[in-house]
Amino acid sequence: MFADTVCTVEASREVLHVTPEVYDAMAALALVEYPLEACGLMAGEPGSNLITRFFPCRNIDQSARIYTIDPKDHLRAERTAEDAGLEIRGVMHSHTHTEAYPSPTDVAAAPDPDWHYLIVTLKREKPEMRTYRIRAGEITEVTLETRG
């Protein structure tokens, strides 16, 4: 449905692969939650850059500008992923009116330097996604590709 809208930017040699199903689920959640920011957790094999599972989460801030993942949803996602032999590899959230680039708030709130930080922008007609690593306040874009 949305998988043909992947924004691939070569900003580093690292590539994050998401399945078409995960891509579509993240785009759909961003649209359903609009005008609020949507959020969720991405999971894959431990240490891998292939995201095979997406866990939509509630934004307890109920805001169009910031998000906080519901701790109960986070715990459920962690346990479900672990039971399936997966681990949480990153977080997705949407920007309703701005580009898919981490805001200062996003950078300050980045909890894990090993996570991928994927942002869906709804600024244009179709959802667009970009993903980053955020380590010690430094933002590095990662190439995003769909892979089944």
Whether the predicted pLDDT of 2 surpasses 80: no
CATH topology of domain 3-146: Cytidine Deaminase; domain 2 (3.40.140)
Tell me: the pLDDT tens digits for 4-39? 434 433 345 899 999 999 999 999 999 999 999 999
Looking at residue 12, its pLDDT comes to 58
Could you state, in order of their start, the residue ranges of all structural domains in the chain? 3-146
Average pLDDT, the chain: 92
What are the C-alpha distances in Å from 128 to residues 2, 84, 94, 101, 124?
Answer: 9, 29, 10, 11, 8
Return d(Cα 120, Cα 129) in angstroms, integer: 4
> Exposed, middle or buried by CB within 10 Å (0-12, 13-18, 19+), for 78?
middle
